[in-house]
Structure 1
Amino acid sequence: MKKGVSKSAVIVMGNTLVVLICLVFLVLGLWKVLSDQVFDINMKQSMNGAPHEDILVIGIDTESIKSVGPYPWDRKVYAQMISQLETAGAKVIAFDIELYTDSTKPESDKILAEELAKHKNIIIPSHADLEGDFDRSTTVKAGELIMARNTDQPIPMFQKSVHKAHVNATFDSDGVVRSNWLQIDTPDGVLPTLGLAMAQLAGADVTKYLNLPLLQNRPKSEMLIKWDGKEFNFETIPFSKVLSGSIPPQVFKDRIILIGYTAPGSDEGITPVERHMHLVYAHANILNQILNQKVIVPVSGAITLAMAAFMIALFGFLTWRLKSITSILIVIVVSLGLLALQYFTFAYSNLYLDTIGVVLSGLISYIGNIAMKTYFETKQKNYITKQFGRYISPDLVKEIAKSDSEIQLGGIKRELSLLFLDVSGFTPLSEKLKPEEVVDFLNMMFNLITERTLENRGTIDKFIGDAAMILYNAPLDVPNHAYYAVKTGFEIQEGMEQIRRDVEAKYGVSLSIRVGINTGDVVVGNIGSYLRVDYTAIGDNVNTAARIESNARPNKVWVSESTYELTKDYFEYEFAGEKLMKGKSAPLKLFEVVSVKGAPVEEKKSGKAS
C-alpha cells in the first residue's frame, strides 16, 4: 500500500473489488456446479416417494427378455399387450420404445398397426433431432421453443392411429437430467414431451404447463422436474407377467401405463435422486408432476442479486464491528440459515431460491474484509510492539506477542529485582540550558539508560523527572534477573563517565547518578482504576530499593544483601556498611559494585558476558 493511502480508502477499494468479483461469479453463473449439487440435495431430501396411484410402469426387464425372447421382439407381441390392456380398461398406454423403422416381419407390423387403429388412447413417441448435443450450457434464444431440424418418427402405418410425443432428455452440463422441454418445435409440428402428452390424453388440466414461466436465459416451455420418486417408488410390473395373463385385469383399469426398458444398462440416465435411473421413470416423474399440478418456480435473478448485495454489506459490516470469533459464528449461522431457507422454501412451496451465490458472495466479502482487518491489526500490532519495545526488551515484547496466555490481570506476587536511579546536579544544569537543550540532554541520558536496560532484559516501569524505576523478571520470567539488574546499573555508570566529563567541562556543573538495587518478593501487575491502569510493582522491597538508591554514593551502584547473595559470583563487591532504613527495625547490609568478574552459564553461552 502506498504511503498516504488512508485505511478507509483501502476498505472502499477492497470492497469494490469484492463486489466486482461476486458480480462476475453471479452473472456468469460460475457457482452453477455447486448450486446444482445443492439443488439435487434439496430435491432428494424433499421427495415424498409416493407417486400418483394412477401411474403404472410395465418394464421390459431381464426376466421378460428371458421369457419372451431376445430383443427386439416380434411386434405382434406389442399388439397382444395393447389388446390385453385395452380389454382391462387402461386409460392411456404410452410406449417409451423406438418404432422408427420397419421390422423384418411386415405381417407383424401390420398386426400392430391394425391393433393401434382400434384405439384412441395410445402414444408412440418420436425423437427430435437437435443441432449438436444440446444441454443447459448451450446458448439458445430465450423465450422461444427449441427448433428441431427433423424428427425420427414411427413408421407411417403406426403414425395414422397414435398420438405423437417426443422422448428427448434434457441433460445439464454435468450430464444430470434436471429439466425437460415440454414442447419442441419440429418441421412436423410442435411435439409435447411424453409425460405431457399422457397427462393431456388422461384428461388432466395442463393449461399452466403450456404457458410456463420462463426460466432465466432458457428456451420457452422448459420445466424443472419435480422428482418425487425413484424407480422402486413407482409400481412396476414385468412385461412378461402382463403378457402371460398372470396379473389380474383390474390392476390396469383406469391406469396411465408406461411401457419402457428396465433391464440393466438400457436407456439409463443420471438424475438428482438416482445415479442410474431408467429414463422411462423420468417420463413417469414428469407425468406425476403434472397430475399433481406442481411447478418449480425459480426466484427472480434480481432478488438473488439483491440478497447477494445485502449479504456482502452485512458480512463486511460484521467483520469490522464485531470480534473475529463472534463475527465468524454469526456468518456460519446466517449462511446455514440461508441454506435452510432454500430447502424449506423448495420443499413446502416449490419455490427455488438459489442461495449458493448469495452465501458465497457473503463469504467472499467476509474473507476479503477479514484479510483487510488482519492487515491493519498486524500493522497496528507491529506499531505497538515497536513502541512497547522502547520500554521493555524487544525479546520480551516478541514473547508476549506470540504467547498463547495473556499477562495476568491484577496483581501477583513474585520475586523481582528492582533498580532505582536518580541524577544529582541536574537542577543547576537545567538553569544554564535552554528548554530545548534540557530536553535534548535528558533524551541523550535516557537513551543510554534505555539501551542498557533493554539489552539486559529489563522493563522500564517509569521515568520520573531525572529518575527512573526499572523491573527485572516482570512481566515475563527472566532467569538470573538479579545479575541483569546489577549489570545494567554498572554499565549505566560506565556510560555516564564521558557524559559527566563533557558536562563539567562545558557548563562547570558536576553530574552524578546514584543506583540502588534490591531483590525480593513484590506485588506486580496492572494496578490502578478502571480509568487509568499502570503496570508496576508495589511492596516493601520496592521501597527498600528506592531508599538504597537515596543512600548510595554518587556514581556508584549499591545493592541489598539479597541481591548480593544472588550475584556475588559474578561481581566484585565492597561492603558499604549498614544503614537503618525508614520503616525497618534492623539496619540493612549494603554492598557497592566494584567490577565484573563473571557471568551466568546462559549468558556465557549467548556470548553476551562483559
Structure 2
Amino acid sequence: MGLLIKHWPRIGITLIPLVFALLHATGVLPIGVLQRLDDIIYDARLRATMPKTLDERIVVIDIDEKSLAEVGRWPWGRNRLAGLVDEVFNRQKAALLGFDVVFAEPDQSSGLARLDELSKGELKDAPAFTERLAQLRGTLDYDSMFARSLEQRPVVMGYYFTSDREGRTNGMLPAPVMTREAMQGRPIAFTSWNGFGSNIEQVAKAAPVAGYFNSITDGDGVVRSIPLVAEYKGNYYESLSLSMFRMLAGQPQVQPGFPRDRFIGRGYTGLESIILRQGDKSLAVPVDSRVAALVPYRGPGGVGGQSFRYISAADVLAKRLPEGSLKGKIILLGTTAPGLLDLRVTPVGETYPGVEVHANVISGLLDDKLFVKPDYAMGYEVVVLLFAGLLLAFALPILSATRAVAVSVLMVILLVVQNFYLFQTQGLVMPLASALIMAITAFALNMSYGYFVESRSKRELANLFGTYVPPELVDEMVKAPENYSMAASNKELTVMFCDMRGFTKMSERMEPTKLQELLNSVFSRLTDLIRSNRGTIDKYMGDCVMAFWGAPVDTPNHAQLAVKSAMEMANAVRKINEEHRAQGIPEIGVGIGLNTGMMCVGDMGSHIRRSYTVIGDSVNLGSRLEGLSKAYGVDIVVSESCRRAAPDFAWQELDRVRVKGKEQAVAIFWPVAPSDRVEKGTVEELKTWAAFLKSYRAQDWDQCDLHMLNLQRMNAKKYLYEVYSERVASMRLLPFDPAWDGATNFETK
C-alpha cells in the first residue's frame, strides 16, 4: 500500500491508455486506428499461416479470357451452359455444381422471340413457317434447355442481395432456410438487405436450391468475411457456400445457435453459431456478431495461386478433358476475366477471384476450420485489457527501467502468443491491437513520466549530493529521492578529521603548482578510500579533509566503515611515502580522529554559499582527537563511543583525555588490526598494555616499570611507550593523589 501511495501519480498516468482502450473495446468511444490495426494484424497473421496447398476436392470452371475469346462475350447462350452442365455431370461425373453467376433475364440470343413475333405478324398466314417454328422451338428455347439440364441434379444456383432506396427485386428467391419464428423474438443482428437479383422463374424452379454470393466489404475495401445467413423481410437465406455444403451433407436443417450461458438475456443481439441438424446429428458452425464467418484463405488466389484447380470453361465445352477428370469433385462456375468485374480486394491479394472466396469457405466448412470473431470477443478484450493494463500500471512504477522494459516486452509477447494460439488452434480471431497499443503506450508514458518528472528530482538529488557522496550511494538515493533532502536533522553519525602533516615544510621548498599537484594526488587517493567505504565528503580545509558516515543514506555500520576507511588511509599514506622516498620527495604524515555521536546534519551556510555538513559537540570532539594523534605517536585516534560501535577490530587504549571545552574525560583508542588478523605476539602485547594502564591509574609506579620493561622488550620503538615511561618517571616525584582519575588534560585544540 505504501508503494501504491508513493507512486500514485505514475500509476495514474499509466492507467490513461487502459481507460481509452476500454472505451474502444466496449464501443463507447471507437477508435478507427485501432480497428484498422486489428485488420492489419489479422491480414498479416492470415498470410503467415495460409497452408498454400492444393485442395483437390474443389475445382473452379473458369470463364476466363481464353473462354471469352473462343466462345464469345458473356453472357453466353444458355444452350451452351446446358451443354456445360451435361458435360460436368454426364461425362465428368462431378458431385456438385455451384453457379457464381446469376441468370436474371430470359435468354433471347436464339432469336425465338423474334420468330414468335413474325409468326403472329407478317408470317401468320404462312403455315409452313409456323409448323417449322414449332418443330424448332425445343432447340431454340435456350432457357428451357438450360432448365432441363439442371433438373434433378445436385446444382446450387447463385443470386445476390442489394440495398438501395427503391428496394428493387428481380427474379425468384429460393425458399428461406429459417423464418422469423425460429429467432424466438430475439433481435439478432443479421446482415440485412432490401432488394435482390435472382434467377428467372424457369431456372429457379428447375434448380430450387440457391445461395447468395454477397460478401462483406470492410471499411478499407477488403473482403475478409461472408455472412453465412442473411435477413430479407423477416426471412433468412443462406450463402452460396453454405448452401453447397448443405447439399453435400444431405440438406440438414438450419437452426440458430443461441448462447448457452444462462446469464445472457434474450435481448442479446448475437448468435453463437449456425446449427446444421439432421436427425440426431448436428454440426455447429461458429459465427460472429453479424452471423458471418471469416474467409479461411488458402493462398494468393487465381490460377497461379495453387489453392484450387482452375479449368477453362472453353475446355469443358469443347470436351477437351478426359472423361471422369472431375469425378466426385465440387465444381464452382465463376470468372476471373477482368472485364466481368468479379475480382475482389482481399487480405491475400488485390485482384482475387470472387468465385475463389466461396471455394475457400466451402473448403473451411469441409475441414471444420472456419475463422470467426466470436460474439464474446468484446468480453475477452475487456478482460485482457484489465489484466494487462492493471498489471503494467501497478508494476512499472516500482520497477527499474531495465525490469520495466523486460516486463513490458514479456507482456507484449504474452498477448501476441495467446492471440496467435487461439487463432491457430481454435480458429478464433480475437482483438489484439487495443491491448498491444495500450501496453506500448503505458510503457512509454511510464518511462516518460519517470524521465521528465521523477528523474528530474533524481537528477537534482544527484547534483546536490554527487560531490559529497559516492556514486553508488547516489544510485541508492535516486531510487527513492523523496526520502532524502538537505533539511537539517539530528542523527547518530561517525565523523572523521584527517590532517596531512609535512605539507607546510614542503611548501617552502616546492613550486606552488608542484605542491598543488602533489596535494591533489594524495587527496584523490584518500578520497577514493572514503567513498569506497560509503563515506560522505564534507569539505577540504587546506591539507585537512573532513568526512562523515551515516548520512544522507542510513548506514547502520557507519562506525565500522569509518574505522576501516581510516586504517586503509593510513596504509595508503605509508605506500605514498615509499613512492616519495624513491622519487626523493619528502615524506608526509597523517593524523586521523574519529568520533561517533549525535550530530546535526544538513544543508547549512548563507544565501551566498551553502554546503551539506555536520555540526555539534560530537563533531568538535572528532576534531580534537585528530590533534591528539601526534601526542601519542599514532596515526588514528578513536573515541570510546566509536570503538563500541566497531567491535570487529582489536583495540589499544591510548589514554583517558579531557580535551579543551569538555569537562568529561574521554577514553581514546588506536585500532590495531581487524580482529581476525591480530598476530599472537600482538595479543600478548595488548594484554600487557592493559595491565600497565591498570597499574598506571592505580598509581602503582613500580608495577608500571615492570610492565613497561616487558612492553619495550616486545616493541622497543613504539613512541607511545616512551611517552608513558616519561610520565611514570615524572609522577613518581608526586605524592599519591586519591582524587586523580587517570585522565590527561589537553588545553590546546
What TM-score bracket applies, with the shorter chain setting the length? 0.5 to 0.7
Note if contact 1:60-1:239 (Cα within 8 Å) is conserved in structure 2: yes
292, 301, 313: which is aligned to 2:367? 292
Q: Distance in 1 between matches of 2:439 and 2:316?
A: 57
Note if contact 1:518-1:544 (Cα within 8 Å) is conserved in structure 2: no
State the match for 2:674 in structure 1: none
State the match for 1:235 in structure 2: 309
State the match for 2:222 in structure 1: 176
Q: Distance in 1 between matches of 2:455 and 2:234?
A: 71
Note if contact 2:97-2:331 (Cα within 8 Å) is conserved in structure 1: yes
In structure 2, relative to structure 1, the CA distance for the partners of 1:528 and 1:237 (3 Å cut) is same
Q: 1:261 offset after TM fit, Å? A: 0.5
State the match for 1:161 in structure 2: 206
106, 115, 122: which is aligned to 2:146? 115
State the match for 2:197 in structure 1: 152
- Structure 1 stretches (4+) deviating beyond 6 angstroms? 215-218, 467-470, 484-487, 533-537
Q: Distance in 2 between matches of 1:365 and 1:194?
A: 46
Note if contact 2:344-2:350 (Cα within 8 Å) is conserved in structure 1: yes
Q: Distance in 2 between matches of 1:66 and 1:343?
A: 46
State the match for 1:436 in structure 2: none
State the match for 1:143 in structure 2: 188
In structure 2, relative to structure 1, the CA distance for the partners of 1:185 and 1:24 (3 Å cut) is closer
Q: 1:290 offset after TM fit, Å? A: 1.9
Q: What pairs up with 1:330-369 in 2 under 5 angstroms? A: 330-369=407-446
Does structure 1 residue 202 correspond to structure 2 residue 276? no
In structure 2, relative to structure 1, the CA distance for the partners of 1:205 and 1:151 (3 Å cut) is closer
Note if contact 1:463-1:469 (Cα within 8 Å) is conserved in structure 2: no
Q: Distance in 1 between matches of 2:326 and 2:221?
A: 34
Give the match's secondary structure for 1:19.
helix
Q: Distance in 2 between matches of 1:518 and 1:188?
A: 96
Moved more, 212-221 or 13-22: 212-221
Q: 1:179 offset after TM fit, Å? A: 1.2
Residue identity in the other structure for 2:322: P
Give the match's secondary structure for 2:293.
strand
Residue identity in the other structure for 1:233: S
Q: Distance in 1 between matches of 2:515 and 2:588?
A: 15
Q: 1:248 offset after TM fit, Å? A: 1.9
Give the match's secondary structure for 1:276.
strand
State the match for 1:528 in structure 2: 533
Q: Distance in 2 between matches of 1:517 and 1:24?
A: 67
Q: 1:131 offset after TM fit, Å? A: 4.6
Does structure 1 residue 78 correspond to structure 2 residue 77? no
Residue identity in the other structure for 1:55: I
CA distances 1:466-519 after superposition (whole Å, capped 9, x unpaired): x7879xxxxxxxxxx9759969xxxxxxxxxxxxxxxxxxxxxxxxxxxx9575
State the match for 2:331 in structure 1: 257
CA distances 1:378-412 after superposition (whole Å, capped 9, x unpaired): 133233134226749xxx99xx99xxxxxxxxxxx
Q: What pairs up with 1:10-25 in 2 under 5 angstroms? A: 10-25=9-24
Q: 1:363 offset after TM fit, Å? A: 2.4
State the match for 1:544 in structure 2: 588
Residue identity in the other structure for 1:527: S
Does structure 1 residue 226 correspond to structure 2 residue 296? yes
State the match for 2:539 in structure 1: none
Q: Distance in 2 between matches of 1:320 and 1:367?
A: 12
State the match for 1:316 in structure 2: 393
Note if contact 1:226-1:289 (Cα within 8 Å) is conserved in structure 2: yes
Does structure 1 residue 87 correspond to structure 2 residue 90? yes
Does structure 1 residue 105 correspond to structure 2 residue 109? yes
Q: Distance in 2 between matches of 1:109 and 1:145?
A: 43
Q: 1:224 offset after TM fit, Å? A: 2.1
In structure 2, relative to structure 1, the CA distance for the partners of 1:147 and 1:384 (3 Å cut) is closer
Does structure 1 residue 378 correspond to structure 2 residue 381? no
Q: 1:309 offset after TM fit, Å? A: 0.9
In structure 2, relative to structure 1, the CA distance for the partners of 1:56 and 1:68 (3 Å cut) is same
Note if contact 2:143-2:202 (Cα within 8 Å) is conserved in structure 1: no
In structure 2, relative to structure 1, the CA distance for the partners of 1:369 and 1:131 (3 Å cut) is farther
State the match for 2:581 in structure 1: none
In structure 2, relative to structure 1, the CA distance for the partners of 1:19 and 1:333 (3 Å cut) is closer
State the match for 2:159 in structure 1: 126
Q: Distance in 1 between matches of 2:158 and 2:460?
A: 77
Note if contact 1:315-1:363 (Cα within 8 Å) is conserved in structure 2: no
In structure 2, relative to structure 1, the CA distance for the partners of 1:112 and 1:105 (3 Å cut) is same
Q: 1:280 offset after TM fit, Å? A: 0.2
Q: Distance in 1 between matches of 2:334 and 2:520?
A: 99
67, 72, 78: which is aligned to 1:69? 72
Note if contact 2:100-2:157 (Cα within 8 Å) is conserved in structure 1: yes
Moved more, 383-392 or 117-126: 383-392
Note if contact 2:15-2:442 (Cα within 8 Å) is conserved in structure 1: no
For normalisation by structure 1, the TM-score amounts to 0.62
Note if contact 1:78-1:112 (Cα within 8 Å) is conserved in structure 2: no
Q: Distance in 2 between matches of 1:484 and 1:275?
A: 81
Residue identity in the other structure for 1:147: S
Moved more, 294-303 or 171-180: 294-303
State the match for 2:611 in structure 1: none
Note if contact 2:229-2:236 (Cα within 8 Å) is conserved in structure 1: yes
Note if contact 1:22-1:364 (Cα within 8 Å) is conserved in structure 2: no
In structure 2, relative to structure 1, the CA distance for the partners of 1:144 and 1:307 (3 Å cut) is closer
Q: What pairs up with 1:418-433 in 2 under 5 angstroms? A: none
Aligned sequence identity (%): 18
In structure 2, relative to structure 1, the CA distance for the partners of 1:209 and 1:52 (3 Å cut) is farther
Give the match's secondary structure for 2:443.
helix
Aligned residues, how many? 439
Gaps of 5+ in 1: 1-5, 133-140, 402-439, 441-461, 471-480, 488-515, 548-581, 585-610
Q: Distance in 1 between matches of 2:288 and 2:234?
A: 23
Give the match's secondary structure for 2:90.
helix
In structure 2, relative to structure 1, the CA distance for the partners of 1:343 and 1:382 (3 Å cut) is closer
In structure 2, relative to structure 1, the CA distance for the partners of 1:185 and 1:278 (3 Å cut) is same
Give the match's secondary structure for 1:298.
coil
Gaps of 5+ in 2: 113-138, 166-185, 260-269, 273-286, 476-487, 489-493, 501-510, 535-554, 578-586, 592-632, 636-749
In structure 2, relative to structure 1, the CA distance for the partners of 1:518 and 1:12 (3 Å cut) is closer
Q: Distance in 2 between matches of 1:115 and 1:151?
A: 22
Q: 1:144 offset after TM fit, Å? A: 3.6
Residue identity in the other structure for 2:9: V
CA distances 1:294-338 after superposition (whole Å, capped 9, x unpaired): 343435222221111111122233323432123212322331232
Residue identity in the other structure for 1:91: A
In structure 2, relative to structure 1, the CA distance for the partners of 1:230 and 1:210 (3 Å cut) is farther
Q: 1:33 offset after TM fit, Å? A: 1.1
Does structure 1 residue 247 correspond to structure 2 residue 321? yes
Q: 1:206 offset after TM fit, Å? A: 5.8
Q: 1:241 offset after TM fit, Å? A: 0.8
In structure 2, relative to structure 1, the CA distance for the partners of 1:325 and 1:80 (3 Å cut) is same
Q: What pairs up with 1:48-67 in 2 under 5 angstroms? A: 48-50=51-53, 52-67=55-70
Q: Distance in 2 between matches of 1:8 and 1:341?
A: 30
In structure 2, relative to structure 1, the CA distance for the partners of 1:249 and 1:181 (3 Å cut) is same
Residue identity in the other structure for 1:544: I
Does structure 1 residue 96 correspond to structure 2 residue 100? yes
